[in-house]
Structure 1
Amino acid sequence: MMRDHLSSLAKPLRRSGATNWSGLLFVAPFVLCYLALLVWPLLSGIWLSLHAIDLLSNLGRMAGVLNFIDLLRDEMFIRSLRNTLLFAALCTPAMVITGLALALALNRPGRTTAILRGVFFGAGVLSVTIVTLIWRLVLMPDRGMLANVLHGAGLASVAPLQNEWLALPAVALATVWWGIGMPMMLFLASLQQIPHDVYEAAALDNTSRWRSFRHITLPAIRHSVILVAVTQMIAQMQVFGQVQLLTQGGPNNSTRSLVMFIFEAMFEQWQLGYAAAGAQALFLLMLAGMSLQGWLERRERKALA
C-alpha cells in the first residue's frame, strides 16, 4: 500500500517535469533565432572591431582598440557623429510635438477625422525612395513647389539641398513628414484611454483647456511621451536612406550621417574592422538611448510610489 501511494505521488511530479521540458521546446525556436540573428552578430561585430581586416582579402590582424583610437582622430567620423546627433535633435522634438498636436486635433469621432488619420499615417507606408522623390520635386530650385510658393510671395527661390546650413534641416523636414504617422497613432491610443469623466469634472469647475491639458492630459500620457521620444531618437540616429538619396552626404559633408560613414568605410574603403568599430560606436549611442528610457521610467515609478 505504501509503495502504491508513493508511486501515485511520483506520477504528477514526472508529468510536471515533462510539462516544463515541453515548454522549453516551445521557447527554443525563438531563443535560437534570437541567438543567431542578434546575439551572434553583436559578438561578431565586437570581434571584428578589434581587428584590422580587409574586406577583399579577408585577412587581418589583431588591432585591439586602435580602430577606436583612429575613429576619435578621424575628422570625418567626428563630423558624421555631430551631424547624426544634430539630426536626431531636430527630428525627435518635432516628432513628439507634431505627433501630439495631430493626435489632440484628431481625437474625436467622425468620418473626416478618420480620413485625416489615414492620410497622416499613410505617408509612413511609403518607401524611402518614393519619399525622397517627392521631396526632390518639392525642393527643386526654380521649378519646385517651394520655389513656386516663394515666387508667388515675391521672394527669391532657394535650393535647400545645396545649402550647407539648410540641407540637414530639409532632410529632417522630409523625415518628419514621412514618419509622423506612428507617433500620432501612439498618442491617439493613449488619449483614448483617458476617461471622459475626468474632463467633464474639470469642465464643471470651469477649468481652461490649457490647464486641463497640463494637469490631466500630460500626466496621463507621460509614458507615451517618453516612449515616442526615446524610440524616435534611436531611430533617427540610424538615418541613411533619405540622406543618401537626397544629398549623398553633401554639401561639404554637412549631412553625412554615421551610418553613411560606416557604409563607405566598408564598401568603398573595404575596411571591415574600421567599419565595425564605427558600428559599435553607433550601438553605444542607441544603448545610451535605451538606458535613458529605462531611467526615465524608473523615475516615473518612484514618483508615483
Structure 2
Amino acid sequence: MAESYRRSQWSNGLFVLPYLAVFLVLLVFPLVWGAWLSLHKVDLFGPGRFVGLANYGRVLADPVFLQALRNTVVFVLVSVPSLVALGLFLALALNKTTRATSFLRALFFSSSVLSVTIVTLIWRFVFIPGDGLLAVISEQLGIAPVNFLSTSGWSLFSVGVATVWWCLGLPMMLFLAALQQIPSDLYEAAALDNAGPWRVLTRVTLPSIARTIMLVTIIQIVMQFQLFGQAQLMTNGGPNGTSRPLVMYIYEVGFVRWDVGKAAAASEFLFLIILVAAMAQYLVSTRKSEVSE
C-alpha cells in the first residue's frame, strides 16, 4: 500500500516536470549564469577571467549608469502611480453592464495588445516636431511648438506618456475583475446607512480591492523598471542620456561595447532594485491591510 502510494506521488510529479524544466531553463539558469558573468571580465569572444566584485565597482563609478538609474527611478515614480490611479478611475467609471461601457473597455484595452513598435510609431506622430499633432495644434494656437523628443526634461516625459497609454489596459481590467467580486450586500448596507459616494469609495470599495491594488502596483513596478523599447525607438536615450533607462544602459554596455561582465553586474543591480522595490511595496501594503482589519 505504501509502495503504491509513493508510486502515485512520483507519477503525479510528472505533470509538474514540464513546468519545472521551463522554470529552470528560462529563469533559474539565466539568473545563476548572469551572477557568474558579473564576477568575470568577459566578452562574447573569449572565456574571460575571474575579477570578483571589480565589475560592480566599475558600474557604481560610471556616471552614465548613475544617470540611467536616476532616469529609471524618476520614470517609475511617475508612471506607476499614474497607471494605478488612471486604471482604477477607468475601472470605477466602466464598472457597468451596458453596450457603451463594453465598447469603452475594449477600446482602452486595445492599446495593450499592440507591439512596442506600433506604440512608439503612433506617439512619434504626436510628438515629432514640425508635422506632429502637437506641433500642428501649437501653431494653430499661436504657441511656439516644443521639440518633445529632443529636449531635456521633455524626452522622458514623452516616453512616459506613451508608456502609460500603452500599459493602461491591464490595470483597468484587473481592477474591473476585482470590483465585480465585491458582494452587493456591502453596498446595500452602505445605502441603508445613507453613506455618500466618497464614503462608499473609501470605506467599502477601496478596502475590498486592497490586494488587487497591491498586485497591480507590484506588477507595474516590475514592468516599468524594465523600460527599454519605448525609450530606444522614440528618443534613443537622448538628448545627452536624459531619457536613457537602465535596460538600455545594459544593452549598450553588453552588446555595443561587448563588456559583458560589466553589463551583467549592472543587470544584477537592476534585479536587486526591482526586488527591493516590489518587496517594500508588498510589506507596506500588508501592514496597512493588517492595521485596517
Q: In the alignment, which of 189, 194, 198 is matched to residue 210 of structure 1?
A: 198
Hey, what's the Cα distance between the residues in 2 that align with 1:193 and 1:259?
37
Residue 293 of structure 1 and its aligned partner are, at CA, apart by 4.3
Hey, what's the Cα distance between the residues in 2 that align with 1:289 and 1:38?
20
SS at match of 1:79: helix
Matched, 1:291 2:279: yes
Matched, 1:72 2:83: no
Hey, what's the Cα distance between the residues in 2 that align with 1:247 and 1:138?
13
Q: In the alignment, which of 28, 31, 49 is matched to residue 42 of structure 1?
A: 31
Hey, what's the Cα distance between the residues in 1 that align with 2:194 and 2:292?
27
CA RMSD, 1 decimal: 1.5
Q: In the alignment, which of 216, 231, 237 is matched to residue 228 of structure 1?
A: 216
Corresponding letter in the other structure for 2:31: L
Corresponding letter in the other structure for 1:260: M
Q: Which position in structure 2 is the counterpart of 1:3?
A: none
How much identity, in percent, do the aligned residues show?
Answer: 47
Q: Which position in structure 1 is the counterpart of 2:125?
A: 137
Matched, 1:16 2:5: yes
What is the TM-score of this pair, normalised by structure 1? 0.92
Hey, what's the Cα distance between the residues in 1 that align with 2:292 and 2:119?
42
Matched, 1:194 2:174: no
Corresponding letter in the other structure for 1:33: V
Q: In the alignment, which of 4, 25, 30 is matched to residue 14 of structure 2?
A: 25
| Aligned residue runs from structure 1 range 55-94, under 5 A | 55=44, 57-94=45-82
SS at match of 1:155: coil
Hey, what's the Cα distance between the residues in 2 that align with 1:112 and 1:154?
37
Hey, what's the Cα distance between the residues in 1 that align with 2:103 and 2:185?
27
Q: In the alignment, which of 253, 258, 281 is matched to residue 265 of structure 1?
A: 253
Residue 67 of structure 1 and its aligned partner are, at CA, apart by 0.4
Contact 2:221 2:278 in 1 (8 A): no
Residue 154 of structure 1 and its aligned partner are, at CA, apart by 2.9
Q: In the alignment, which of 233, 238, 261 is matched to residue 250 of structure 1?
A: 238
Hey, what's the Cα distance between the residues in 1 that align with 2:277 and 2:174?
19
Which range moved further: 252-261 or 137-146? 137-146
Corresponding letter in the other structure for 1:46: A
Show CA shifts across 1:223-267 (max 9, x none). 111111111011100000000000000011100010001101111
Hey, what's the Cα distance between the residues in 2 that align with 1:150 and 1:304?
48
Hey, what's the Cα distance between the residues in 2 that align with 1:277 and 1:22?
41
Corresponding letter in the other structure for 1:267: F
Q: CA, structure 1 residues 23+297, in 2 after alignment: closer, same or farther (shift >3 Å)?
A: farther
Contact 2:65 2:249 in 1 (8 A): yes
Q: Which position in structure 2 is the counterpart of 1:177?
A: 165
Residue 302 of structure 1 and its aligned partner are, at CA, apart by 3.8
SS at match of 2:156: helix
Residue 149 of structure 1 and its aligned partner are, at CA, apart by 2.4
Hey, what's the Cα distance between the residues in 1 that align with 2:165 and 2:290?
36
Hey, what's the Cα distance between the residues in 1 that align with 2:235 and 2:258?
23
Hey, what's the Cα distance between the residues in 2 that align with 1:289 and 1:31?
27
Corresponding residue pairs, total = 293
Corresponding letter in the other structure for 1:122: S
Contact 1:226 1:296 in 2 (8 A): no
What is the TM-score of this pair, normalised by structure 2? 0.96
Structure 2, unaligned runs of 5 or more: none
SS at match of 2:242: coil
Corresponding letter in the other structure for 1:52: K
Hey, what's the Cα distance between the residues in 1 that align with 2:159 and 2:188?
42
Hey, what's the Cα distance between the residues in 1 that align with 2:87 and 2:271?
27
Hey, what's the Cα distance between the residues in 2 that align with 1:231 and 1:257?
18
- Structure number, greater radius of gyration: 1
Structure 1, unaligned runs of 5 or more: 1-11
Residue 204 of structure 1 and its aligned partner are, at CA, apart by 3.2
Hey, what's the Cα distance between the residues in 1 that align with 2:237 and 2:289?
42
